[in-house]
Chains A and B, each alone.
Chain A
């Protein structure tokens, strides 16, 4: 038998007997539990002794007092029950399949796998029967030499190594590159040689 049961089954003092500190502590704890129970917020965790006493208090309240189920709570419980029952009933027919349907569902993955294997085998066979094809090598006429300034090119040769002291002067370098590219563009678009080379587009 637990200590709680010992306390519960011990004789109850007379109303005017002095309470021990331990009993006062128990009484205070129980009073708090009754407080919470009256507002419907009794904690789930409590000692076995407190639970036994609180159950007795609740029985008294249920029979003599006002311990009732709120109408909204009752409706919510009914709603839950019906939703569960109707959901289960609706789900039940989906569980039942005809024998033909069940058989076809069982065979379907194997049928798909077999068809895929056949297609793959046919493709391999066709490739093997076709043999190696001849590759025609077409000589491409070398492009005529054009000035480097007309072509797309890296800017590194133009800028060169950047000294640490000038690392922050990027705008000057961008201006320099822009001017260089603009020169090439003008030469290709505006000069006779450029027009003769068909320089309608930008740089290559």
Chain B
């Protein structure tokens, strides 16, 4: 997965503090560079992996940013980036979605498990470090579930969902018809879901 932003330098932290103070003074437009900088890591690292639905994830991102703008005056600058604060707002919003929709129980359970074991934000001041750490934790959990799959199922998921090859190419690589590959992927995702949910609960 590509990285949408780089670790903050001291100059960038100073600039971020200035923008936050300007926003707290009433110039909300000063938040634009901050929101644009952190929208992608919030979406790709925090929200989408916990929801699994791009449309809901966009809604949650929008709500997260709106809440941040609305409550910026309550944010207290402590020499770290604003990202951990944004991330916590996003996680709360994701929980709200799961509570309201009462669906995706396995994802919700997995998320609850993960929330209990997630790293202390204070120990990871830099937004990039936090996002990387979060991405690593997610990836480990995905890899754990993938490791429990049969080779053919793991290959089907790798080809179609990770490498994003076409169905025709996936079927050709596995030496089966497209219809058979569809069945393989269907079973592979079902099997993954069982292991993924089981690992969380």
Q: A82 contacts which of B32, B53, B58, B191 (Cβ < 8 Å)?
A: B32
B48 contacts chain A at the CB level, 8 A cutoff: yes
Q: B182 contacts which of A30, A67, A89 (Cβ < 8 Å)?
A: A30
- Of the 9-residue stretches A40-48, A108-116, A126-134, A149-157, which lies at the interface with chain B? A40-48
Residues of B within 8 A of A197 (CB): none
A193 contacts chain B at the CB level, 8 A cutoff: no
> Could you say which of A28, A40, A54, A58 has the most chain B C-beta atoms within 10 Å of its C-beta?
A58
Complex CA–CA separation, A30 to B35 (angstroms): 35
- Shortest Cβ distance from residue B96 to the other chain A in the assembled complex, whole angstroms: 17
Q: A68 contacts which of B43, B51, B141 (Cβ < 8 Å)?
A: B43
Whether A59 pairs with B52 at a CB distance below 8 angstroms is yes
Whether B179 pairs with A28 at a CB distance below 8 angstroms is yes
Q: A12 contacts which of B35, B157, B187 (Cβ < 8 Å)?
A: B187
A58-B52, A73-B58, A85-B70 as given contacts; A63 in contact with B185, CB under 8 Å: no
Interface size on A, residues (CB 8 A): 53
A81 contacts chain B at the CB level, 8 A cutoff: yes
A64 contacts chain B at the CB level, 8 A cutoff: yes
Q: Which B residues from 167 to 201 make CB contacts under 8 A with A? A: 167, 179-187, 189-194, 196
Q: Which A residues from 135 to 161 make CB contacts under 8 A with B? A: none
A15 contacts chain B at the CB level, 8 A cutoff: yes
A65-93 vs B, Cβ < 8 Å mask (1 yes, 0 no): 11111010111011011101110010000
B148-161 vs A, Cβ < 8 Å mask (1 yes, 0 no): 00101100010011
Residues of B within 8 A of A74 (CB): 36, 39-40, 43
A8 contacts chain B at the CB level, 8 A cutoff: yes
B138 contacts chain A at the CB level, 8 A cutoff: yes
A162 contacts chain B at the CB level, 8 A cutoff: no
Whether B44 pairs with A68 at a CB distance below 8 angstroms is yes
B28-64 vs A, Cβ < 8 Å mask (1 yes, 0 no): 1101100110011001100011011111001001100
Residues of B within 8 A of A37 (CB): 54
A177 contacts chain B at the CB level, 8 A cutoff: no
Whether B152 pairs with A56 at a CB distance below 8 angstroms is no
Q: A67 contacts which of B44, B183, B187, B194 (Cβ < 8 Å)?
A: B44
B164 contacts chain A at the CB level, 8 A cutoff: yes
Whether A62 pairs with B49 at a CB distance below 8 angstroms is yes
Residues of B within 8 A of A53 (CB): 186, 189-190, 193
A74-B40, A81-B62 as given contacts; A42 in contact with B55, CB under 8 Å: yes
B104 contacts chain A at the CB level, 8 A cutoff: yes
A residues with CB within 8 A of B: 8, 12-15, 19, 23-24, 26-28, 30-31, 34-35, 37-38, 40, 42, 44, 48, 51-69, 71, 73-75, 77-78, 80-82, 84-86, 89
